[in-house]
């Protein structure tokens, strides 16, 4: 059992807000998507690890040792998380070895199958001093549709230019653009590794035929990045459908 302080509750409330927005946008069908937030260092959670099992994360994250994270639960729904964060996710503490972790909240809820990707992203963000604490994976309809076209027409290299040209906000609020990750097995280490590389110089990457992954200083900022690029993709697809090919 854990006792959650006011600061932690505020951060959990933001997780709930982000989950609600994802569900409202239709980007989180069934148990689709996941998110992870590094809880601020000033957060103090009273907890007892006597009954908390040691779990192998499968990846090494030495710079995350001792840190606390909120992460969406495996097979949990965003709409459940939006109503009650600890019924749709869990709080974990990374062990001193940087590889294992304890679940501090309900033992019946375990982290998302994409935990390895999130941990590797947070490890890279801490190492690079970005000051980012949030990672988000979701299924925005138009960006997924665009990824099908992009793969067919080999438009990966011009993807950022296409989206930036659709509306000023895309260039203004997502100046680094969007990177590309090919079709890879969900939850795989290869997908995690490719995502880390794709986000070293960007704040959002497109998982071909799957969804997107975004990072930011908090979950709302990460959501906003996806929201803007999804709007740009929507405009682009509407133009394609309105203008005959070849014109």
How far apart, in whole angstroms, are the C-alpha atoms of residue 31 and residue 169?
Answer: 30
The residue among 74, 21, 82, 32 whose CA lies nearest residue 221 is 21
**Which domains occur in the chain, in start order?**
2-242 (3.40.225.10)
Does residue 142 carry a pLDDT above 80? yes
The residue among 62, 85, 64 whose CA lies nearest residue 73 is 85
How far apart, in whole angstroms, are the C-alpha atoms of residue 76 and residue 115?
Answer: 14
pLDDT average, residue stretch 90-118: 91
User: For residue 15, what are its two tokens?
Assistant: 């997780």
Q: Which amino acids are annotated catalytic? A: 114
Does residue 6 carry a pLDDT above 90? no
User: For residue 174, what are its two tokens?
Assistant: 């997502």
- The model's pLDDT over 68-99, given as tens digits with 9 standing for 90+, comes to 999 999 999 999 999 999 999 999 999 999 99
pLDDT at 241: 87
pTM for the model stands at: 0.91
Of 187 and 155, more confident: 187
8 A C-beta contact, residue 201 and residue 211: no
In 3-state terms, what secondary structure has residue 78?
helix
User: For residue 192, what are its two tokens?
Assistant: 């995690």
pLDDT at 217: 96
- The model's pLDDT over 206-233, given as tens digits with 9 standing for 90+, comes to 999 999 999 999 999 999 999 999 999 9
């Amino acid at each position: 059992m854990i006792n959650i302080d006011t600061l932690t509750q505020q951060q959990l409330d933001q997780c709930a807000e982000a989950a609600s927005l994802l569900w409202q946008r239709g980007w989180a069908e069934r148990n689709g998507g996941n998110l992870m937030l590094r809880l601020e260092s000033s957060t103090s959670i009273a907890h007892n690890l006597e009954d908390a099992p040691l779990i192998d994360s499968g990846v090494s994250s030495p710079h995350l040792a001792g840190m606390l994270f909120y992460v969406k639960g495996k097979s949990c729904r965003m709409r459940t998380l939006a109503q009650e964060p600890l019924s749709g996710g869990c709080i974990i503490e990374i062990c001193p070895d940087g590889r294992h972790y304890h679940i501090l909240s309900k033992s019946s809820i375990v982290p998302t199958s994409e935990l390895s990707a999130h941990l590797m992203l947070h490890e890279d963000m801490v190492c690079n001093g970005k000051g980012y604490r949030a990672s988000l994976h979701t299924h925005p309809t138009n960006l997924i549709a665009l990824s099908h076209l992009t793969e067919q027409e080999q438009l990966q290299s011009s993807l950022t230019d296409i989206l930036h040209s659709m509306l000023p906000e895309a260039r203004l609020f997502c100046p680094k653009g969007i990177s590309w990750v090919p079709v890879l097995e969900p939850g795989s280490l290869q997908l995690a590794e490719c995502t880390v590389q794709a986000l070293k110089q960007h704040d959002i990457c497109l998982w071909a035929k799957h969804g997107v992954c975004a990072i930011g200083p908090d979950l709302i900022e990460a959501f906003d990045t996806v929201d803007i690029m999804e709007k740009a993709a929507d405009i682009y697809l509407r133009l394609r459908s309105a203008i005959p090919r070849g014109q």
